[in-house]
Structure 1
Amino acid sequence: MKIMKTEQSSEGKLGELRARLPGVPEIQIDERGKLTAQVTAWVPDGKGGADQHQVVLTDGDIERLLTSLANPKSPEVSAVVSKLMSENLRNILRLSALGAGAALLD
């Protein structure tokens, strides 16, 4: 995966891409340097609409999660977590690149 700089911003395309993602990540850092990650996902409700779900992780939550991920209970759990984390990271990088006027090449 490579991030290449382009000459134009792709904010319009960014909104279109965000609409297609099942979960939209948002990362915030407050004035004290505390990190908060929030993921909002829309799940079809079977009636033509969608239910909104949110997960918010604070610094402590992220630290505990990373500690548990570093010590998986089985190889299967390790493989699933690794795939999930890499896909989420790719999506965050892709959105950041598009918003900055860059193209992400696989």
Structure 2
Amino acid sequence: MADSTENVEREQVAKEPEEAEKPGQRSDRPRNRVQVSKDSHPLNFYVNLAEKLLHDEEEVELSGLGMAVSTTVTIAGILKNSGHVEVARIETSLAGETKLKIRRIEFR
């Protein structure tokens, strides 16, 4: 009886898809988006990350929710003042939660 139970479990394990999404992997999030948090990382982390993404991407989107909105704007300001990028679009949304997106940061 135990052998048949083990065989069923082995078959179920074998039937799981091989290309299952790995932990930490998000296919729905664009590669050129930087999601800013107020307290998890210092400003320089986000500035360096955005600059690194700009080497591979034509545009980068910065987004912040709630208390991270001001931090997101500060990061965009630092990038703009460095002379390497321009802010092409700013969106804010108050539907349900405060949200700020800065899109199309491009090399000049």
TM range (shorter): under 0.3
Q: TM-score, normalised by structure 1?
A: 0.23
Bigger relative contact order (CA 8 A; separation at least 6): 1
More strand by share: 1
User: Which one has the largest radius of gyration?
Assistant: 2
Q: TM-score, normalised by structure 2?
A: 0.22
